[in-house]
Structure 1
């Protein structure tokens, strides 16, 4: 069982990538370090700053009041889970106020810890759970992006300001939780190039890691060392997924190119099996498909994943299936686009020719969850009586004798969709060709 964090752990001595210092990058970004006087002149040094609820103004939220359950027709903010599934964090609402909330998930019963500070958060504040139980908070103010780490301390909340970044003509967003959860990263997309920043885990505030030509979105980790990051790069009018090596100064390698004139995006990846979930218009329409990292076989677009009038979004892959990508369970969120219909939960495996509709837990925070090594989905939910819950739903095993190779015949779009995808060009040595 993991107890609530009472003291912040020290930052790692060195980040997992080569860093470039300096106050500005490409003339678009100015790094704001606590105490540097750049944009945040009165910020304290990198030390815990406990904030007691007794010191909060009268307008702050009451700490002992429960977070509001999701209202009908108004989706509640879904939590983000750490890569190991131990913690989650979300922006919750209480009495009209927004505040960060940390969930502890590896205890006998999941529980939530509110982390209010001296004033309510803005609705656009972003939060990210860290592996040590702290919560990274990304606030925006007058073109500045400021980062802090929050942690529970006695009856109040401690805060470690990390500094920030001031941008010009670009937008900055947090990347998904990294496999090595002591670090957090952000993507700053401009008109002509995109910067990758280490915003937590460095020694001196935010650190600029790489500048990539083109406008990049998405963000999928390809390994477990925080080295290889996949980004969907828009360049010359087309979107292709590239692999970015953060240990080699942001070296870019093509990762996903189904056809010369197609838009190809990577949605999910599993480091154990190499399974990739892809969205592409190469078959003639935008379809959901799958491939295997390092394989010479083409991406396949199963007919069962084609649901006209519905948005199908994969959000979790079963880990631990080394060299068995076809057997991985995949969790799907299915939306029909109407405001009065709740998203459906479905499960699928590449070796199976059908999508299984699964029971959707009441109060499920749609799109959030993870899959265990046993193929069981763990889904966070909130109801009027359960402020922090995790439902478990098993994905059915594939039918006996089912083989994913049969899906090759179902790939639509003729020869265009069946062209080999150069996934093996990614600089991820050590994995044998699969599939």
Structure 2
């Protein structure tokens, strides 16, 4: 049974890349007063912080003007704060919420200059702190790890290039504290795309690396430079891509063509067990995309809840799956769900942001029990002989089955 509660907002007033940043970030300044944006009629690029306290997106008013919008989600009621600047934003602007409530904004200027600023509300106005810029044809941001404030970005190679540049575009802290301006930290062979953090402190980044016509997920160590080591290599010829990783349990969701065709599978980092490709994750005529994993299950990755976006003939739906349960549960559609956004709490509550005409900012809370955990609670005590382990006709018990390999916590697992 799934219990659903929702919060509603209070009524408030409305080589790839060359370093081109100043040696220190400019001090925060109040942006010139901007006209108060109207009620949002559209949103794009919604992102959550790792702990789910804040979200951010681009919002458009009825006149088609785009502006950054911050969502506050950690209180009793969710609410939004518009962050308009002197000029409306371009549709391609990227916004990234930070755990301290500020919003990092990346703007593309002149086709190849990516400028970075920090925004936060200051009374009725928006304070903007300029960080610097990176020159590159393309740049993809990597949100901070759960216990880090650093924001990285990957600049894939230009045509004919062979390496991807790694940038630390924001190192945390205010002006004068930490690394505030973009800094190039190294290069990776091939064309790379960031896929998620393998630890909570931001030292090990999982990256899909394309080289010689094959794509393999690798681990990039970011402590004292850039160091690359293999992460997924199911076969020599397969394409093995990482989709989602949980730093606590080591649960990995991946997509690979090693089984003969492209399939969604799962494994545990540091475990001796092979990767599995359950049929439950491959429903007919449905595209399945994982977007959130339940944290905190350090020794029991098989009980982690995984939230899935399901796209098929009937439209977009929400699914929940656990490795131990071995079945995919489809949930009723949530009106106004910001598709593909959400997070789990350690205690198994799935939180989904939504926006409807009646509730322009809301957070649905779905209490989803773990059926496999209930089965374990109802199992007979270890002191009682299991019913299917009775002695045979000779009076001897049947031979013991191989004990399952115990999952290795991520912090003890070799990367």
Unpaired runs of 5+ residues, structure 2, are: 1-14, 172-177, 377-406
Whole-angstrom CA distance in 1 between matches of 2:97 and 2:350: 20
1:188 corresponds to 2:155: yes
Q: Is the 8 A contact 1:78 1:366 kept in 2?
A: no
Match of 2:17 among 12, 29, 53: 29
Which residue number corresponds to residue 91 of structure 2?
A: 123
Q: Is the 8 A contact 1:334 1:346 kept in 2?
A: yes
Superposed displacement of residue 293, structure 1: 0.5
Which residue number corresponds to residue 146 of structure 2?
A: 179
Q: Is the 8 A contact 1:379 1:391 kept in 2?
A: yes
CA-based RMSD: 2.2
Match of 1:83 among 44, 50, 53: 50
Which residue number corresponds to residue 223 of structure 2?
A: 247
**TM-score normalized by structure 1?**
0.78
Cα 1:278–1:102 shift into 2, 3 Å: same
Which residue number corresponds to residue 399 of structure 2?
A: none
Superposed displacement of residue 67, structure 1: 1.4
Q: Per-residue displacement from partner, 1:370-406 (whole Å, max 9, x unpaired)? A: 001111110000011211110012334234558xxxx
Cα 1:362–1:296 shift into 2, 3 Å: same
Unpaired runs of 5+ residues, structure 1, are: 1-26, 37-43, 71-75, 403-422
Cα 1:205–1:297 shift into 2, 3 Å: same
Whole-angstrom CA distance in 2 between matches of 1:194 and 1:232: 11
Whole-angstrom CA distance in 1 between matches of 2:288 and 2:214: 22
Which residue number corresponds to residue 412 of structure 2?
A: 430
Cα 1:364–1:237 shift into 2, 3 Å: same
Q: Per-residue displacement from partner, 1:113-164 (whole Å, max 9, x unpaired)? A: 0000000000000010011100000100111011000000011100000001
Match of 1:227 among 203, 209, 218: 203
Which residue number corresponds to residue 345 of structure 2?
A: 372
Whole-angstrom CA distance in 2 between matches of 1:261 and 1:171: 28
Task: Indicate the structure (1 or 2) with the bigger Cα radius of gyration.
Answer: 2
The DSSP-based 3-state class of the residue aligned with 1:326 is helix
Q: Is the 8 A contact 2:45 2:95 kept in 1?
A: no
Pairs aligned (count): 359
Which residue number corresponds to residue 383 of structure 1?
A: 356
Q: Is the 8 A contact 2:56 2:97 kept in 1?
A: yes
Whole-angstrom CA distance in 2 between matches of 1:130 and 1:255: 28
